[in-house]
Amino acid sequence: MKFILRENISTLGDAGDIVTVAAGYARNYLLPRGLAAKANEGNVRQLQHEKHQIFLRQEKAKREALKLAKELKEISVTIRRQVGEEDRIFGSVNARDIAEELRGEGYKFHRRQITMDDSVKKLGVYDCEVKLHPEVSATVKVWVVSE
């Protein structure tokens, strides 16, 4: 019998997949737990409609992320720190500091969206990557200057 999976099942497939299973397995395991629905014409049409809606939402989010990436390419962030010997700063500059500075510029990002190569411990200009979408990221210049 053919069924549409409502949740990911490691032995069968992912949510939305149409799978063929034994009648007893479906009757005794999948249906009582709400893990699958019978693949009749109406349910298949509904599944296709839901997949299309999800695709459209993802494409819209990607377009918005690309637009934001263009804006962020123009942005640079300045972080002021106290400096010791040899232009080494006290402490370091991390993703949280950059997120706070971007928030001051009007952009809201979580610190986990921001990645840097290493922790910043000296004055200079650094590039950090901001993950906007699973397929889109932008690079922001970070200037670390002395107070």
**Residue pLDDT, tens place only, 10-46:** 889 888 889 999 999 999 999 999 999 999 999 889 8
The reply to whether 2-64 and 66-146 are identical in fold is no
Return d(Cα 52, Cα 17) in angstroms, integer. Answer: 14
Amino acid in the structure at residue 81? R
On whether the CB atoms of residues 90 and 80 are closer than 8 A, the answer is no
Amino acid in the structure at residue 100? E
Per-residue confidence (pLDDT) for residue 139, from 0 to 100: 93
Tell if the pTM clears 0.85, that is, is over it: no
**Within a 13 Å sphere around the CA of 103, how many CA atoms are in the beta-carbon half?**
11
Fold of domain 2-64: Ribosomal Protein L9; domain 1 (3.40.5)
Return d(Cα 84, Cα 147) in angstroms, integer. Answer: 11
* Number of residues assigned to the chain: 147
Return d(Cα 103, Cα 97) in angstroms, integer. Answer: 10
Strand ordering across the sheet containing 136-146: 76-81, 136-146, 124-133, 114-115
Return d(Cα 101, Cα 89) in angstroms, integer. Answer: 18
Class of the CATH domain delimited by 66-146: alpha beta
Per-residue confidence (pLDDT) for residue 127, from 0 to 100: 92
On whether the CB atoms of residues 9 and 35 are closer than 8 A, the answer is yes
Question: What token pair was written down for 45?
Answer: 């049409």
**Residue pLDDT, tens place only, 67-126:** 999 999 999 999 999 988 888 888 889 999 999 999 999 999 999 999 987 778 889 999
Per-residue confidence (pLDDT) for residue 117, from 0 to 100: 78
Which sequence spans correspond to the domains of the chain? 2-64, 66-146
